[in-house]
Amino acid sequence: MTTGEPLIVLDGVNKWFGPLHVLDDVSLSVGRGEVVVVIGPSGSGKSTLCRTINRLEPINSGTITFDGTPLPAEGKALAKLRSEVGMVFQSFNLFAHKTILENVTLGPVKVRREKPAAARERGLALLDRVGIANQADKYPAQLSGGQQQRAAIARALAMQPKAMLFDEPTSALDPEMVGEVLEVMTSLARDGMTMVVVTHEMGFARHAANRVVFMADGQLVEEAPPTEFFANPRSERAKDFLSKILTH
Ligand SMILES: Nc1ncnc2c1ncn2[C@@H]1O[C@H](COP(=O)(O)OP(=O)(O)OP(=O)(O)O)[C@@H](O)[C@H]1O
Ligand SMILES: [Mg+2]
């Protein structure tokens, strides 16, 4: 479900780490409500691409706009951007000394100045949405990996983001917990959230993505709707990559 003008636009983006050209003239546009899955070999720049979108990584040249505005470099505008672009990482990054509900309400109360009671009510609703309302008063260490990752998703959603970035959100999970996290992500996608998802879960890419983007050596090599990409990858690098991950 993609409508109107794009929400995220990268145009001619270059990023170096010293001599290493990690993003090489990357241009990518993500529509509102669109789900873009980014795949590619290790070291191809997928995480860096994600991190540039909420400016965890500054870029060397090119432009990135979010919701029509170039990414701010600092200050309040940057804090606002970070709240509008939720990010979920491989490691859950929950605050260990706060309960699950406190993890979810902290941002809304401190950053968005929501009233604690309102934030709590919304937080509980979000925990319910990701299926862990009954874990609200526990601490992160008392939850399974899958539950912690769902809490991390609820925490990001609590800021009422316009887009969500996921960087290998299921890679650190035991296999039996991957499904419950992908289910939450699939339902978010169905509800119209704009999402950029780095993942090796090709089932998710097939079913939930509007578009698959294949990266190699910092370049965006190929992009296509999932059915087209998986049935008929055009580049040798994509063919080679798919043959490796789909057969293991
Ligand atoms: N902070 C950094 N300083 C220097 N080099 C970095 C830094 N972060 C990443 N790199 C390098 O940039 C390249 C791209 O890294 P990135 O993490 O974006 O790749 P990736 O596609 O996410 O890989 P993976 O699939 O292993 O997560 C790699 O060669 C990596 O070693
Ligand atoms: Mg990565």
For residue 125, is it within any domain?
A: yes
Whole-model pTM over 0.85: yes
Q: How far apart are CA 219 and CA 199, in angstroms?
A: 17
CA-proximal residue: ligand 1, atom 10 (nearest): 17
For residue 174, is it within any domain?
A: yes
Residue 240 C-alpha to ligand 2 middle, in angstroms? 19
Q: Give the N- to C-terminal CA distance of the chain in Å, as an integer.
A: 32
- Please identify, by atom number, the ligand 1 atom nearest to the C-alpha of residue 45: 18
For residue 173, is it within any domain?
A: yes
pLDDT tens-digit readout, 150-201: 999 999 999 999 999 999 999 999 999 999 999 999 999 999 999 999 999 9
Residue 46 C-alpha to ligand 2 middle, in angstroms? 5
For residue 1, is it within any domain?
A: no
For ligand 1, pick from 13, 15, 17 the residue to mutate: most ligand atoms within 8 Å of CB.
Answer: 17
For residue 170, is it within any domain?
A: yes
Cβ contact 197:38 at 8 Å? yes
**Domain membership of residue 210 as a residue range:** 6-244
Q: Which of 192, 217, 189, 191 is nearest to 201 (CA)?
A: 189
Between strands 211-216 and 194-198, the pairing is unpaired
Residue 53 belongs to domain with CATH number: 3.40.50.300
pLDDT of residue 92: 82
At residue 147, what is the residue type? Q
Q: How far apart are CA 168 and CA 83, in angstroms?
A: 20
For residue 108, is it within any domain?
A: yes
CA dist list (Å): 82 to 106, 107, 160, 163, 165: 15, 11, 11, 10, 11
CA-proximal residue: ligand 1, atom 26 (nearest): 42
Cβ contact 44:217 at 8 Å? yes
For residue 120, is it within any domain?
A: yes
- Which residues form the pocket of ligand 1, taking CB atoms under 6 Å from any ligand atom? 17, 20, 22, 40, 42-48
pLDDT at 248 over 70: no
Residue 29 C-alpha to ligand 2 middle, in angstroms? 20
For residue 117, is it within any domain?
A: yes
The total domain count for the chain is 1
User: Residues with Cβ < 8 Å from 245, sequence gap 6 or more?
Assistant: 200, 202
